[in-house]
Amino acid sequence: MTSLKNCPAPAKLNLFLHVNGRRADGYHLLQTVFQLIDHGDTLHFALRDDHQIRRVTELPGVPEESDLIIRAARLLQAEVLRRQGALPAGVDIAIDKILPMGGGLGGGSSDAATTLMALNHLWRAGLSKQELMALGLPLGADIPFFIFGQTAFAEGVGEAMRPVKAPDCWYVVIEPGVAVPTAAIFCSEHLTRDTPVVIITDFSSHLENRIGLKGFGKNDLQQVATQLFPPVAEAIEWLGAYGDARMTGSGACVFSAVATENEADAVLAKVPAKWKAWKAKALDRHPIIEKL
């Protein structure tokens, strides 16, 4: 096999996101549930005759050298060299990019995870899921989740994951039109860092016979983001009229769960034109599993 086309890199939602503390090294201790959704980027891989790793798609504002896709590919290439004693073939990587930067949807991390999984297959590298997760973690805390590949209750800095069931529902997602820098949120003196720890059964029992999260948890980053970026607050307030609305990740995107696609369509029909909005179905498993 010399190519892999149409490899999905789905977005994620944080159904809740609690900050429980801070480690001595500055990393925050978190609890969250990661939910994959069927909306995301698409990547294409074609092996080269040399050993170069190139991104053949121009992405405004993202230099090739700093792109997580390229960094992930080079990291895996070096690991293959270390294990097998030979450098694998280079690769051209194209991307159909639809996920916004600074949206809290994990777009860059998902792209990197798909790159690691696809090239592990193309290069016949033979790394296990756990080995790929460990390889990706230094590049980004969300990358291991996408390789984990299913709805997850995550703790620590996001790397300790257990599978969990979440509703088979639809989501309405609004992009408020601003990019929220993660560092600015986590560095804020106004960030709550002492939310009490919950256990996985608290989440599971709350969602029995429910679709939305109303009454359970929150996103601790939301208060800071809405103060710094008023469009996020405005989107939450508007979407909140149709259900429990909250921000995903460090922002800026806002979401609400609904039971059916028809309900999602009804809400989307009313979204103000100044915002980009879309619907997505919850996914139990990462769709790239079917390709590999």
The CATH number that applies at residue 259 is 3.30.70.890
Please check whether residues 10 and 151 belong to one and the same domain.
yes
- The answer to whether residue 291 is domain-embedded is no
Please check whether residues 108 and 230 belong to one and the same domain.
no
Q: Count the domains in the chain.
A: 2
Q: Give pLDDT tens digits along the chain (292 positions).
A: 899 999 999 999 999 999 999 888 878 899 999 999 999 999 999 999 999 999 999 999 999 999 999 999 999 999 999 999 999 999 999 999 999 999 999 999 999 999 999 999 999 999 999 999 999 999 998 999 999 999 999 998 767 899 999 989 999 999 999 999 988 899 898 998 999 999 999 999 988 878 878 889 999 999 999 999 999 999 999 999 999 999 999 999 999 999 999 999 999 999 999 999 999 999 999 999 888 8
User: Tokens at residue 81, please?
Assistant: 């060299």
- The answer to whether residue 205 is domain-embedded is yes
If one counts every other C-beta atom within 10 angstroms of the C-beta of residue 168, the result is: 11
Residue type, 226: T
Q: Which of 163, 178, 200 is the last residue of a domain?
A: 163
What span, in angstroms and rounded, lies between the C-alpha atoms of 74 and 52? 9
Q: Which of 114, 133, 163 is the last residue of a domain?
A: 163
Catalytic (active site) residue 12 = yes
What span, in angstroms and rounded, lies between the C-alpha atoms of 154 and 275? 30
- The answer to whether residue 288 is domain-embedded is no
- Domain containing 117 equals 3-163
On the question of a cis peptide bond just before residue 252, with omega within 30 degrees of 0, the verdict is: yes
What span, in angstroms and rounded, lies between the C-alpha atoms of 180 and 268? 23
Q: Which of 139, 163, 187 is the last residue of a domain?
A: 163
The per-residue DSSP string of the chain comes to --EEEEEEEEEEEEEEEEEEEE-TTSPEEEEEEEEEEEEEEEEEEEE-SSS-EEE-S--TT--GGG-HHHHHHHHHHHHHHHHHSSPPP-EEEEEE--SPTTSSS-HHHHHHHHHHHHHHHHTT----HHHHHHHHGGG-TTHHHHHH-B-EEEEETTTEEEE------EEEEEE-S----HHHHHT-TT----PPP--HHHHHHHHTT-SS-TTS--BTTHHHHHHH-HHHHHHHHHHGGGS-EEE-TTSS-EEEEESSHHHHHHHHTTS-TTSEEEEEEEESB-GGGGT-
What CATH number does residue 145 fall under? 3.30.230.10
Please check whether residues 140 and 86 belong to one and the same domain.
yes
If one counts every other C-beta atom within 10 angstroms of the C-beta of residue 7, the result is: 22
Question: What's residue 220's pLDDT?
Answer: 96
Catalytic (active site) residue 142 = yes
Please check whether residues 129 and 73 belong to one and the same domain.
yes
Contact status, residue 34 vs residue 166, Cβ threshold 8 Å: no
**Residue of 41, 111, 142, 220 marked catalytic:** 142
Please check whether residues 59 and 107 belong to one and the same domain.
yes
Q: Is the dihedral of CA 287, 288, 291, 292 positive or negative?
A: negative
Smallest Cα–Cα separation from 252: which of 230, 281, 270? 230
Interaxial angle between packed helices 107-122 and 68-84, expressed in degrees from 0 to 180 and rounded to the nearest 10: 30
Please check whether residues 77 and 56 belong to one and the same domain.
yes
Please check whether residues 152 and 235 belong to one and the same domain.
no
- The answer to whether residue 130 is domain-embedded is yes
- The answer to whether residue 292 is domain-embedded is no
Please check whether residues 23 and 149 belong to one and the same domain.
yes
- The answer to whether residue 142 is domain-embedded is yes
Contact status, residue 232 vs residue 176, Cβ threshold 8 Å: yes
List Cα–Cα distances, 186 to 59, 105, 166, 221, 233, in angstroms.
Answer: 26, 17, 27, 8, 18
- The answer to whether residue 290 is domain-embedded is no
- The answer to whether residue 289 is domain-embedded is no
Please check whether residues 159 and 181 belong to one and the same domain.
no
Please check whether residues 143 and 217 belong to one and the same domain.
no
What span, in angstroms and rounded, lies between the C-alpha atoms of 90 and 73? 9
Question: What's residue 22's pLDDT?
Answer: 87
Please check whether residues 69 and 203 belong to one and the same domain.
no
Please check whether residues 159 and 175 belong to one and the same domain.
no
Maximum Cα interatomic distance, the chain, rounded to a whole number of Å? 59
